[in-house]
């Protein structure tokens, strides 16, 4: 099971309405973090590349989620 901080972040991604993050985040959450990590990491990396400095509330969460996912 993933840590609580990571789950909170991924829940925000799953509810953000952005296709890049929606499906991979929901898949990962539904599996309780046991599958879909590679797909989720790729999605978060893409989101960070596309939007990581726009100033929205998700910007700092991309980098933190990547740290936590890679450490898991």
* Rg (the chain; Cα; Å): 11
Task: Supply the pLDDT for residue 2.
Answer: 65
HSE at residue 45, side-chain half, CA atoms within 13 A, is 9
Q: Please give the model's pTM, rounded to 2 decimal places.
A: 0.91
Mean pLDDT computed over 15-20: 92
- Helix, strand, coil percentages (3-state) for the chain, rounded to 5, are 70, 0, 30
Question: What's the domain range around 34?
Answer: 4-71
Give yes or no for residue 20 having a pLDDT over 80: yes
Structural domain total, the chain: 1
Task: Supply the pLDDT for residue 33.
Answer: 86
pLDDT tens-digit map of 21-63: 999 999 999 998 888 999 999 999 999 999 888 888 999 999 9
């Amino acid at each position: 099971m993933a840590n609580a901080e990571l789950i909170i972040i991924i829940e925000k991604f799953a509810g953000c309405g952005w296709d890049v993050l929606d499906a991979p985040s929901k898949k990962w959450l539904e599996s309780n973090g046991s599958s879909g990590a590679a797909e989720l990491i790729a999605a978060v990396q893409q989101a960070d590349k596309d939007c990581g400095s726009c100033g929205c509330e998700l910007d700092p969460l991309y980098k933190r989620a990547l740290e936590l996912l890679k450490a898991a």
